[in-house]
C-alpha cells in the first residue's frame, strides 16, 4: 500500500490544499467547493433523464392521491352513513379511483427510482474511473487508495440517490403542508391545535441526532478495536499455528466484547428514549385534534366523516417528522457528491498527451533518455532540484542514494508517471509530454518493488496492457525473471487464476519483472524491483534479465551494493541533485557512498560480503 500511495516518496499528508496560502478566502473556497459538489449532483441527477422525470410525476401523483384520500374517505363515509337507504355510488367510486391512482403512482415511483438512480450511478462511476485513470500516480499523491475506492464505490451510489431523496423530501413536505392546510380548511381550530405540537417534535429530533452520533461513535470505536485485534492475529497466523495457541488468540480478539455489548445496549436505550418521546407527542397531537373534532361533530360544525378525515390529515401532517431522516439522507448525498467532486474537479490536473511518435529503432535496441533541469516539487518540498541525467542507448544506469534523495521520483519522472514541474525529459530526442500515450507506454516499461498484478490468469497478467500478446513471449519473459519455475508448480500453471494463487512478495516481484520484460520496450525502469528476493535469487534474476534485455536501456533504483555493482554507471543522488556519476567500483572508495548501503536495508550483498571476506 505504501508503495502505491506515495510512489514519489512524498508523504501524502504534506500535500498542500487549496486555501493554505490564502487564509482570507477560506470561506470563498468552501462556497466554491459546495457549488462544485452541487453541480456534480445536478449533472448526476440529469443522467436519470426521463426516468427522473417519470419519478417526479409519480411523486406529484402520490402526493395528490395522499391528500385527496382522507377527504374522499370522509365524503364516502358520510354518504354511506347518511343515506342508509338508497346509497349513491358516486363518492365511493371517487374514493376507489383516488386509491387506485395512488397505487399506480406508487408502483411507478418504486420502478422509476432505481432506474433513475442506476442511470446516474453508471454515468458518475464511469466519469470518475476515467478521471482516476487519467490522474494516475498523480492522483495517489492526493488521495489514499482505500479512500479513492470508497469515493468510487459507495460515494457515487449515495450521490446518485440525491434525485430520489430530493423528490421524497418534496413529497413529504408537500404532503405535510397540504395536510395542515386541509386541517385548517376543515376547521381553523383543528389546524391551530396541530401546529402547537410541531415545535416540540422538532426539538426532539435535534436531540436524537446529537446524542446518537456520540453513542454510535463509541460503539464503532470498540468494533474497530475487535477488528484490529482480529487483523493482528490473522497477520501472525503462522506463529499462532506453530505455537498451537489458536484458542487463546480467539479469547484475545474477543476481549473488548463486554464493553462493546455495554455500548450497544446504550444505543438501544437511547433509541428507546427517543421513540418514547416521539410516541408520546404524535398521538397526543392526534388525540387533541380528535377530541376537538369530536366536539365540533357535536356542535354540528363537522360530520362524522370529517372526524375520520381530521385523524387522517393529522397523521399525514406528522409525516413531517420523517423529514429528519430525509434531511440526513440528503446531507449524506451532498457530502458524497462533494467527495466525488473533489476528485473530479480539484487540482492536480491530469497529465495530457501529445501525438508525437518516436524515431524507429530496431527491435532489441535501446533508447536514449535525457533529463535536463528536471525539478519536481510536492507539498512545499523540492524532491528533484534542476537535475540533469543521461542514460546512453543500451546502457544500464543505477540510481543510488539515501532515502529521500529522489530515486523513486526520478524513476517516476523518467517514464512520465509524474510530470516535472520544470525541465525536460526526452526519449530519443522526443519530449515525453508530446508523445502519443500508447507510443510512450510501448517505449517505456516499469517494474516495481511491489507490483499489483492485474488481469484474470497468470498469463493474462504477464501480457496486461499489451495489445496482442504472444503466449510464448510471455513465458520467455517469465523464464528470464525466474518466475517460470514457481508458476509451473501452480495447480494450473500459467492458466491459474490470480485469485487462486496468492503470491509471496518475491514471487509477485518476479511476475512484475516478467510483465515489464515482456513489453520489449526500448527503456526499462526498475524501481527497487528485486528487493524481496534473497541474495541468491537476485543474482540469478539479474543475470537472466541482463541476457534477456541485452542491448536495451535500463534505469535501476538500487538499494543493494550488488545491484549497483552490476550496472554500467551509477548516478549517486543526494537531496534531489546528482552528486556523482561513475561506475560502482570507482565510487566504492568513497566512505560516504559506502555509508548509503550500510544505512539501507540490512540484507545487502555488501554487508554479506564484508562478513564473508573478514
Partner 1 sequence: MTVATSRGGWRLLSTELRRRPAALWRLAGWSVLEIAPTAASGFVVARAVDEGFLRHRPGVGLAWLGGLAVLMVVGAVGARRTFGSLADIVEPLRDAVLAAVTAGALQRAVAGVERPNAGAVAQLTGQVEAVREITAALLMTLRKFGFTVVSTLVGITVLAPVLVLLVLPPLVAAVVLFWRLLVGVAPRSRATMLAAERTAASIGTVVGGVRDVVACGAERRAAAEVGAAVDAQADTERRLARLESVRIPVVALGAQVPLLLVLVTTPWLVGRALATPGDIIGAVTYLTAGLLPVLNALVQGVGSLGVHLGVVLHRLSEAAVVPEQDAPVDPDRPRDSRLEVRGLTFAYGVHADPVVHAFDLTVVPGEHLAVVGPSGIGKSTLANLLTGLIAPQEGVVRFGGVELPRIGPDTLRTAVALIPQEAYVFTGTVRENLGYLRPDADDAELDATCAALPLGALVQRLGGYDAPVAPGTLSSGERQLISLGRVHVSRAGVVILDEATCYLDPVAEAAVEEAFRVRPGSLVVIAHRISSALRADRILLLDGTDAHLGTHVELLAASPLYADLVGNWTGTAPQLA
Question: Which residue in 11, 34, 64, 115 binds partner 1 (CB under 8 A)?
Answer: 115
Instruction: Say if CB 197 and CB 292 are below 8 A apart.
Output: no
Which range binds partner 1 by CB under 8 A, 135-143, 208-216, 327-335, 380-388?
A: 135-143
Question: Between residues 38 and 346, which has the closer beta carbon with respect to partner 1?
Answer: 346
Contact between 367 and 564 (Cβ < 8 Å): no
> Shortest Cβ distance from residue 317 to partner 1 (Å)?
14
Q: How far is the CB of 264 from partner 1 (least distance, A)?
A: 5
Interface stretch with partner 1, choices 83-91, 174-182, 202-210, 332-340 (CB under 8 A):
83-91
Burial class (CB within 10 angstroms; exposed 0-12, middle 13-18, buried 19+) of 212: middle
Residue 110 is a binding residue for partner 1 (CB under 8 A): yes
- For residue 346, report the phi and psi dihedrals to the nearest 5 degrees: -75, 155
Q: How far is the CB of 583 from partner 1 (least distance, A)?
A: 10
Interacting span for partner 1 (CB under 8 A) from 34-42, 116-124, 184-192, 324-332? 116-124
Restricting to residues 239-258, which ones interact with partner 1 according to CB under 8 A?
239-247, 249-250, 252-254, 257
Cβ atoms of 81 and 307 within 8 Å: the answer is no
Closest distance to partner 1 from the beta carbon of 271 (Å): 6
Do 559 and 604 contact (CB within 8 A), yes or no? Answer: yes
The upper half-sphere exposure of residue 232, i.e. CA atoms within 13 Å in the direction of its Cβ, equals 11
CB of 487 to partner 1, least distance (A): 10
Contacting partner 1 within 302-321 (CB under 8 A): 304, 307-308, 311-312, 315
Site for partner 1 in 558-577 (CB under 8 A): 561-562, 565
Determine the interface stretch with partner 1 among 26-34, 125-133, 378-386, 398-406 (rule: CB under 8 A): 125-133
Among 507, 526, 549, 571, binds partner 1 (CB under 8 A): 507
Residue with cell 508517471: 417
Residue 63 grid cell: 402526493
Dihedral angle computed from the Cα positions of residues 283, 64, 333 and 45, in that order, rounded to the nearest 10 degrees = 170
Interactions with partner 1, residue window 433-472 (CB under 8 A):
437-438, 440-442, 445-446, 448, 451-454, 464-466
Residue 22 as a binder of partner 1 (CB under 8 A): the answer is no
513, 481 contact by CB (below 8 A): yes
| CA proximity to 480, closest of 518, 454, 509 | 518
284 forms part of the interface with partner 1 (CB under 8 A): yes
Q: Is residue 430 at the binding interface for partner 1, with CB under 8 A as the rule? A: no
Return the residue of 183, 337, 369, 417 that touches partner 1, per CB under 8 A.
417
Is 461 or 571 the residue whose CB approaches partner 1 more closely? 461
Does residue 264 bind partner 1 (CB under 8 A)? Answer: yes
Given CA atoms 507, 512, 518, 520 in this order, what sign does their dihedral have? negative
Residue with cell 460515494: 155
CB-facing half-sphere around the CA of 72: CA atoms within 13 A = 20
Fill in the per-residue mask, 179 to 198: x = in contact with partner 1 (CB under 8 A), - = not in contact. Answer: --------------------
Q: How far is the CB of 180 from partner 1 (least distance, A)?
A: 18
Q: From residue 320 to residue 359, what is the string marking binding to partner 1 with x (rule CB under 8 A)?
A: ----------------------------------------
Of 390-409, binders to partner 1 (CB under 8 A) are: none
In the complex with partner 1, the residue whose CB is nearer, 311 or 405, is 311
CB 274 within 8 A of CB 207: yes
> If phi over 0 gives left and psi between -120 and 50 gives alpha, with beta otherwise, what is residue 480?
alpha
Q: How many residues bind partner 1 (CB under 8 A)?
A: 162
Per residue, the 3-state secondary structure of 281-340, as one string, reads HHHHHHHHHHHHHHHHHHCCCCCHHHHHHHHHHHHHHHHHHHHHHHHHHHHHHHHHHHHH
In whole angstroms, give the CA distance from residue 266 to residue 263: 5
Q: Who's near 56: CB < 8 A, 6+ residues apart?
A: 167
Min dist CB 584 to partner 1, Å, is: 7
Q: Considering only residues 206, 269, 403, 424, which one is a binding residue for partner 1 as defined by CB under 8 A? A: 269
566 neighbors 394 (Cβ within 8 angstroms): no
Cα–Cα distance, 613 to 233 (Å, whole number): 41
Q: Which of residues 509-548 bind partner 1 (CB under 8 A)?
A: 510, 512, 515, 519, 532-537, 539-540
Q: Give the binding range for partner 1 (CB under 8 A) out of 29-37, 170-178, 301-309, 323-331.
A: 301-309
- Contact present, 72 and 95 (Cβ < 8 Å): yes
When asked if residue 298 is in the footprint of partner 1 (CB under 8 A), the reply is yes
Amino acid at each position: 500500500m505504501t508503495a502505491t500511495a506515495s510512489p514519489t516518496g512524498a508523504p501524502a499528508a504534506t500535500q498542500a490544499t487549496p486555501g493554505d496560502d490564502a487564509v482570507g478566502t477560506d470561506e470563498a473556497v468552501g462556497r466554491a467547493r459546495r457549488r462544485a459538489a452541487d453541480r456534480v449532483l445536478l449533472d448526476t441527477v440529469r443522467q436519470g433523464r426521463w426516468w427522473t422525470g417519470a419519478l417526479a410525476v409519480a411523486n406529484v401523483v402520490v402526493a395528490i392521491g395522499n391528500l385527496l384520500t382522507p377527504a374522499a374517505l370522509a365524503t364516502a363515509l358520510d354518504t354511506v352513513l347518511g343515506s342508509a337507504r338508497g346509497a349513491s355510488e358516486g363518492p365511493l367510486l371517487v374514493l376507489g379511483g383516488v386509491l387506485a391512482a395512488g397505487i399506480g403512482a406508487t408502483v411507478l415511483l418504486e420502478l422509476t427510482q432505481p432506474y433513475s438512480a442506476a442511470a446516474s450511478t453508471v454515468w458518475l462511476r464511469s466519469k470518475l474511473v476515467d478521471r482516476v485513470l487519467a490522474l494516475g500516480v498523480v492522483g495517489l499523491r492526493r488521495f489514499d487508495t482505500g479512500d479513492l475506492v470508497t469515493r468510487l464505490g459507495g460515494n457515487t451510489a449515495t450521490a446518485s440517490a440525491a434525485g430520489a431523496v430530493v423528490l421524497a423530501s418534496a413529497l413529504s413536505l408537500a404532503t405535510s403542508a397540504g395536510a395542515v392546510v386541509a386541517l385548517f380548511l376543515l376547521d381553523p381550530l383543528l389546524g391551530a391545535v396541530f401546529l402547537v405540537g410541531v415545535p416540540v417534535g422538532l426539538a426532539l429530533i435535534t436531540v436524537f441526532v446529537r446524542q446518537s452520533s456520540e453513542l454510535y461513535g463509541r460503539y464503532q470505536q470498540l468494533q474497530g478495536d475487535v477488528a484490529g485485534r482480529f487483523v493482528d492475529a490473522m497477520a501472525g497466523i503462522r506463529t499462532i499455528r506453530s505455537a498451537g495457541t489458536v484458542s487463546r488468540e480467539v479469547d484475545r480478539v474477543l476481549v473488548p466484547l463486554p464493553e462493546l455489548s455495554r455500548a450497544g445496549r446504550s444505543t438501544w436505550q437511547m433509541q428507546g428514549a427517543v421513540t418514547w418521546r416521539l410516541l408520546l407527542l404524535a398521538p397526543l397531537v392526534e388525540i387533541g385534534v380528535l377530541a376537538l373534532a369530536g366536539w365540533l361533530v357535536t356542535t354540528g360544525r363537522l360530520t362524522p366523516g370529517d372526524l375520520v378525515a381530521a385523524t387522517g390529515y393529522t397523521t399525514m401532517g406528522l409525516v413531517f417528522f420523517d423529514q429528519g431522516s430525509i434531511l440526513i439522507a440528503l446531507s449524506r448525498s451532498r457530502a458524497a457528491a462533494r467527495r466525488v467532486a473533489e476528485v473530479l474537479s480539484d487540482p492536480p490536473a491530469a497529465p495530457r498527451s501529445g501525438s508525437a511518435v518516436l524515431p524507429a529503432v530496431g527491435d532489441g535496441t535501446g533508447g536514449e533518455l535525457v533529463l535536463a533541469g528536471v525539478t519536481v516539487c510536492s507539498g512545499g518540498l523540492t524532491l528533484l532540484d534542476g537535475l540533469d541525467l543521461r542514460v546512453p542507448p543500451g546502457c544500464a544506469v543505477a540510481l543510488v542514494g539515501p532515502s529521500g534523495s529522489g530515486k523513486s521520483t526520478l524513476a517516476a519522472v523518467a517514464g512520465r508517471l509524474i510530470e516535472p514541474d520544470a525541465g525536460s525529459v526526452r526519449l530519443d530526442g522526443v519530449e515525453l509530454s508530446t508523445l502519443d500515450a500508447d507510443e510512450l507506454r510501448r517505449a517505456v516499461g516499469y517494474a516495481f518493488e511491489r507490483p499489483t498484478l492485474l488481469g484474470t490468469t497468470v498469463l493474462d497478467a504477464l501480457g496486461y496492457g499489451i495489445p496482442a500478446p504472444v503466449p510464448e513471449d510471455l513465458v520467455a519473459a517469465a523464464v528470464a525473471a525466474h518466475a517460470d519455475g514457481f508458476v509451473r508448480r501452480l495447480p494450473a500453471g500459467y492458466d491459474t487464476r490470480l485469485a487462486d494463487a496468492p503470491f509471496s512478495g518475491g514471487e509477485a516481484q518476479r511476475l512484475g519483472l516478467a510483465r515489464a520484460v515482456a513489453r520489449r520496450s526500448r527503456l526499462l525502469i526498475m524501481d527497487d524491483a528485486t528487493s524481496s528476493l534473497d541474495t541468491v535469487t537476485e543474482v540469478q534474476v539479474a543475470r537472466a534479465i541482463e541476457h534477456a534485455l541485452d542491448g536495451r536501456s535500463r534505469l535501476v533504483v538500487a538499494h543493494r551494493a550488488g545491484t549497483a555493482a552490476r550496472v554500467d554507471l551509477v548516478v549517486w543522488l543526494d537531496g534531489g541533485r546528482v552528486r556523482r556519476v561513475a561506475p560502482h567500483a570507482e565510487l566504492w572508495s568513497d566512505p560516504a557512498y559506502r555509508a548509503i548501503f550500510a544505512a539501507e536495508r540490512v540484507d545487502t550483498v555488501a554487508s554479506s560480503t564484508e562478513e564473508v571476506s573478514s
